[in-house]
Amino acid sequence: MSVFFQQLVNGLSLGSVYALMAVGYSLVYSIMNFSNFAHGGVIMVGAYIGFFAMTALGLPFAVAFFVCGAGAGLLAVLLERLVYRPLRSRNAPFLYFIISAMGASIFLENFVIATIGPTFRTYPPVFGSAPFNVGGISIGRIDVFMIIVAALGLLLLMFIIEKTKIGLAIRASSYNIKASTLMGVNVNMVIFTIFLLGGVLAGYAGMLFGMKYTVYPQIGNITTKSFIAAVFGGLGSLPGAIIGSLILGLLETSISAIGLSSWRDLFSFAVLIFVLVIKPSGLMGKFTEDKA
């Protein structure tokens, strides 16, 4: 039984980071109808911002964490302004957005390699290496922090979406962006907000993942898993992205627990293929033919 709860905690910590990433995909998809593959670049830059804020600048962890979120959010907004808004102004096909997103992601990764270098970097210790021991279950301090940050961040995001005026505009735009524009909704502000929120959470995810493992230019590739989780839960659905992320995290840790860790990525992509074949809209998504 202790092994079960151990894997449950490990799966929740991994799934919580996936959720912080996946909601960014769902937010953008719900409004702009395309998958923002530049999201991985934002996560990578967020991880580096947090690292250099603590090492080069010597900032306390709490301040570095805030700077990481702010920097990643700013980068996400700049990507929207420089890469996607010109395409929106010309009513470009959705395929152009996807190609531009991939190009932006490759540019950010290679820019970091050319300027900072490909070296793996390790965050300085923040919480200590001694785990919490509860009833025979060993829980890492960083795992606890990851779960807490993800829970608070996702709850705040859901509050903004459900209880605020800008959240109402986001929900209206996700239902029908053209009708929302006719009703006086500032769509540019809505898009600015979703990129800002998604970028901040992506930055936090990158910093948490970098603290648990290491920081390197390809760290943004982990968004492949969050994209799988978003598809599994239903692209465009925030609750679906969260649930899909937690399920994927639990499935991956379970696969590793039975000695098949080398099969973990293969299993994740098999889940993606299975969902796309059996239920393309995901657990909580809505089927729409015009979204790509």
pLDDT tens-digit readout, 98-142: 999 999 999 999 999 999 999 999 999 888 777 777 777 777 888
d(CA 211, CA 209): 5
Q: 189-248: per-residue pLDDT in tens?
A: 999 999 999 999 999 999 999 998 899 999 998 888 888 888 888 877 888 888 989 888
In sequence order, the β-bridge partners of residue 139 are: 132
**Predicted confidence (pLDDT) at residue 45 exceeds the cutoff of 70:** yes
Residues 30-40 have pLDDT tens digits of 898 888 989 99
Q: Mean of the per-residue pLDDT values for the chain?
A: 88
Q: Residue 99 carries which side chain, given as an amino acid letter? A: I
Condensed to tens digits (0 to 9), the pLDDT of residues 11-21 reads 888 899 999 99
Residues 6, 217: contact at Cβ < 8 Å? no
Only one residue has tokens 């990764």, namely: 109
Q: The pTM is what? A: 0.89
Percent of the chain with pLDDT over 70: 96
CA distance linking residue 218 with residue 191, whole number of Å? 27
Distance CA 35, CA 282 (A): 15
Quick one: pLDDT at residue 182? Answer: 86
What DSSP element (H or E) covers 139? strand 137-139
Specify the pLDDT at position 272.
81
What does the DSSP 8-state code read for residue 83? I
- The answer on pLDDT for 292 being more than 70 is no
Quick one: what percent of the chain has pLDDT higher than 90? 50
Domain extents for the chain? 19-220
3-state secondary structure of 138: strand
Q: Classify residue 138 as left (phi > 0), alpha (psi -120 to 50) or beta.
A: beta
**Residue 17 burial by Cβ neighbours in a 10 Å radius (0-12, 13-18, 19+):** buried
